[in-house]
A and B are shown apart, each in its own frame.
Chain A
Amino acid sequence: MEYMILIISAVLIKNIVLAQYLGVCPFLGTSKRMDTAVGMGLAVTFVLVIATAVTFWVQKLVLDPLGLGYLQTIGFILVIASLVQFVEMFLKKFVPPLYESLGIFLPLITTNCAVLGTAIMCIRNEYAFGQAVVFAGASALGFTLALILLAGIRDRLSVSPVPRALRGTAIGLIMAGLMALAFNGFVGVDNSLNALMQQ
């Protein structure tokens, strides 16, 4: 039940893109077509969960005992960069069509702040291992959900008479804003859930 609340909170209430402002660049960059959006969502989910699990143990087993907390940023980004490299080689070898369609955005997962952000947030919120992995999975799900929703909207926008100056990223941002407004409606759901738990 505790996990249930964590998941609902991370996917809907504190959605990683629409409420926490993490991973906005790939969110806008890969949402022009539905198939790239789905692929990017999957790639981010995979990397995010593994990266959070690995960085959790890096923090607990290496940085904390040695008193190297200040190296957290450098250590985490190196772990993430090598993981992304691994995923890229894996996809190139075994799923070439997906590799082709993700193109430039795969190496860019390294600089996707959603990955580093989630890893750091898990440490700062002092989650246990199970909570951290569930939180990472739910955040990735939230990212994928927002990405696919925006891809659907932009699909319709491509045949609409958008003013010339707003075409491209500008209208994408405004649409994301309207989606964030809709997701704002979920604020307060966690309170009711907690109350429900206590009954």
Chain B
Amino acid sequence: MNLWREFSKGLWRDLPPFRVVLGLCPVLAVTKSAIGGLGMGLAVVFVLTCSNILVSALRHVIPRKVRIASYIVIIASFVVTVELVTQAYMYPLYEMLGIFIPLIVVNCIILGRAEAFASRNGVLASAADGLGIGLGFTMSLTVLGALRELLGAGTLFDKPVMPLIYQEHPFAMMVEAPGAFIALGVLLGLMNAVTATKGT
């Protein structure tokens, strides 16, 4: 049951990026569409889970003084894996995420979990933690991407949903940079309001 607790905290209590406001750059950049958000989220799930497992397995081996550098190298290796795999098998996604695939290396959520959790806990717990936080991140990105795509282009996962007149004259600012900042700000405010009323 302990494993379940480590897993589920990423889905609500520590839900990134709303509860733990970290790693905002990819959140803003790739959520032009729901697919972009989902793709980036799944890439982060893979990197976060693998790096958590490896950091946890090596936690008694890595000297304290060079731990951050070691974590970065571990994370970077998995990021390169994702980069090469998406380039080979999912080229449209690779094009869409562009520079933000190599930039997963500097996503503070991943380094933060390595330092705050994986370096202090067992392999299984770390895997559950990475999976949970990663899936929470995916969920947030997909919701934000869906919202922006719906308002900014009138489609959802590239399927038209809004009336034709809306698709011809969408609220185009939402898929541009200003919409990214404002949508995330408003969602964050909503989350704060919900948290305040629920008291958790």
Contact = CB atoms under 8 A, between A and B. Distances in A.
Interface of A: 18-25, 28, 70-74, 77-78, 81, 108, 110-113, 116-117, 120-121, 124, 163-167, 169-174, 176-178, 180-181, 184
B151 to A, nearest CB: 14
B179 interface: yes
A78 B73 contact: yes
B186 to A, nearest CB: 7
Interface string B62-76: 000000110011001
Question: DSSP class of B's interface residues: helix, strand, loop or mixed?
Answer: helix
B181 A117 contact: no
Interface residues of B, number: 43
A24 B106 contact: no
Interface of B: 21-26, 28-29, 68-69, 72-73, 76-77, 79-80, 83-84, 99, 102-103, 105-108, 111, 173, 176-182, 184-186, 188-190, 192-193, 196
A169 B186 CA distance: 10
11 contacts: A24-B25, A70-B80, A71-B80, A73-B76, A81-B69, A112-B106, A116-B106, A170-B186, A171-B185, A181-B178, A184-B176
A9 B29 CA distance: 19
Nearest to A172: B185
With most chain B CB atoms within 10 A of its CB, the pick from A25, A28, A170 is A170
Question: DSSP class of A's interface residues: helix, strand, loop or mixed?
Answer: helix
Given A176-B181, A180-B177, A111 B188 contact: no
Contact of B108 (A25, A81, A177): A25
A15 to B, nearest CB: 9
A78 B71 CA distance: 11
A189 B184 CA distance: 28
A113 B25 contact: yes
A178 B103 contact: no
A113 B68 CA distance: 16
Contact of B179 (A23, A108, A177): A177
